[in-house]
Amino acid sequence: MSLEEKCENMMNAVTESRVVYGKMCVDYNKKTTLVENKILQLKLNTIADNPFKPKQKLPHIDNGEALKDSKEFIKEIEHRMKRVERLQEKVRQTQEIVEQLQNKNLVLKDKKPLTAEALLARAKSRKK
């Protein structure tokens, strides 16, 4: 055999071994995936078969009492909201009154003369 034939035979052997090895790898991957899926399924089944039990049991709440409590809570919130709205209205009214008084004071100050004689006369009339 010549050197070229030997190389060709070696290359054929390498390709065949790669094909066989590749098939083995694919089969191995398939088998490992199947085994992993079976293990996962077993874990899920055992978890589903044995439900968790709470350490402390929750107290039973009567729906009628819960509805009654929630309605009372809603009424209380509505009452407080009305109080807040009334307070806001009172604050608005107070602000309007303050603004009116300020405007009135400005108008009165404008009408009064600012001469020294008028100021003295006003001061003397206050003393009496």
> Cα dist. 50→37, 38, 58, 97 in Å?
20, 18, 20, 73
> Cα dist. 32→17, 35, 101 in Å?
22, 5, 90
Are the CB atoms for 118 and 112 separated by under 8 Å?
yes
**Quick check: is 38 in a domain?**
yes
Domain match, 41 and 85 both: no
pLDDT of residue 111: 63
The parent domain of residue 3 ranges over: 1-50
Divide the 128 residues of the chain into consecutive groups of 10 and give the mean pLDDT of each group: 87 87 87 92 83 74 74 92 94 88 68 71 79
Q: Which residue has the tokens 């398939």?
A: 30
Domain match, 32 and 78 both: no
Domain match, 81 and 40 both: no
Distance CA 128, CA 126 (A): 5
